[in-house]
Chain A
Amino acid sequence: MFTVKRRAFTLIELLVAIAVSSILIVTAVSMYTLIRNSITLDQSRGDMEQNANIALDRLSRDLRQTPDVVTVLPASTTDASVPKPHEIEFEDGHTNDLTYRRYYLNGSVLELDTKEYYFASNPATRVKWNATSGGTSPVSAVISTQDIADMVQTLNVYGNDSVMQVEVITTDGGTQTFSLRTTVEGRN
């Protein structure tokens, strides 16, 4: 007969142990997932903010100095007579070498082209974008391109040569967006 007391877990003990360790494991795993998601989300929010900040800062600083805006802009957010350009080209006001700057979106990247205009007959001499010579308009060439900011969804510019409202909206590609807006009064 079984007279020896066997040392072992009972079924109940085993079940309790499994239940307890399951709770611990599930909690730990869901915490890990939650923390990771939260970090990813917070990081992209930080990135959105940084990118919008850089984009608007660079653009408004350049715009403030410009003597001449090439792009035709709607007067305000409600002006439907001119399509929203989502890009802006203007004469560089920092230098006197008659170059133009064009901010535009290439996918989600805000890019800046440095451009020049010249008549095909005289490529060595830069002219204004709206100059004419014998009924012909100048041709343009891109001198250089640089990336300004990423994650940009929309670039909006409203106003006229002297007062412009600029808005940059960044996105993390999902549902989060971040909008920044300012107004620039031309100095030149």
Chain B
Amino acid sequence: MRRRGFTILELLIALSLFLIGMVSILEIFPVDRNLLNQTMHSTQASFLAQEQMEQVVATPYSSLTVGTYLPNAVVTTDTTSPYSIYSRQVTVDYINSSYAVSGTDTGLKRVTVTISWQERTFMQYSTLTTYVHS
């Protein structure tokens, strides 16, 4: 007599499909977590950029030397600090009246603060730009 029912093979296939589906859903969570980490790092980075910008803006125009004004350096050497993953660099360019980089001083400088950090496998950057006039 042919009995109606699932064979063990069918059952195993069904179970594996179910589990594969479940695991795929679970995979969303690490992705979500990483995105959240990225946003939190971006927020920290923009405040650290603002911190540097405050100091630059308080500096007189003539003291802002064109080129790499402050070379890329870690924000803090204290490795226990949550800010130790960030590096900061400040560049200054001469700018002409149409906001394009200029070879000569026309009385306007552009200051760019760049924060960089390692986000798992890739580098992330956050920049803040302002213009300073003589």
Contact = CB atoms under 8 A, between A and B. Distances in A.
B133 to A, nearest CB: 17
B122 interface: no
Interface string A120-155: 000000000000000000000000000000000000
B9 interface: no
Q: Report the contact-size class of chain A (Cβ under 8 Å from the partner).
A: 20 to 34
B57 A185 contact: yes
A23 B54 CA distance: 59
Q: Report the contact-size class of chain B (Cβ under 8 Å from the partner).
A: 20 to 34
Interface stretch (A42-50, A79-87, A101-109, A111-119): A42-50
Contacts of A35: 29
B2 to A, nearest CB: 13
A45 B43 contact: no
Contacts of B66: none
Interface of A: 5, 13, 16, 20, 23-24, 27, 31, 34-35, 38, 42, 45-46, 49, 52-53, 56, 60, 163, 165, 178-185
9 contacts: A13-B5, A42-B36, A165-B51, A178-B40, A179-B44, A181-B44, A181-B47, A181-B51, A183-B51
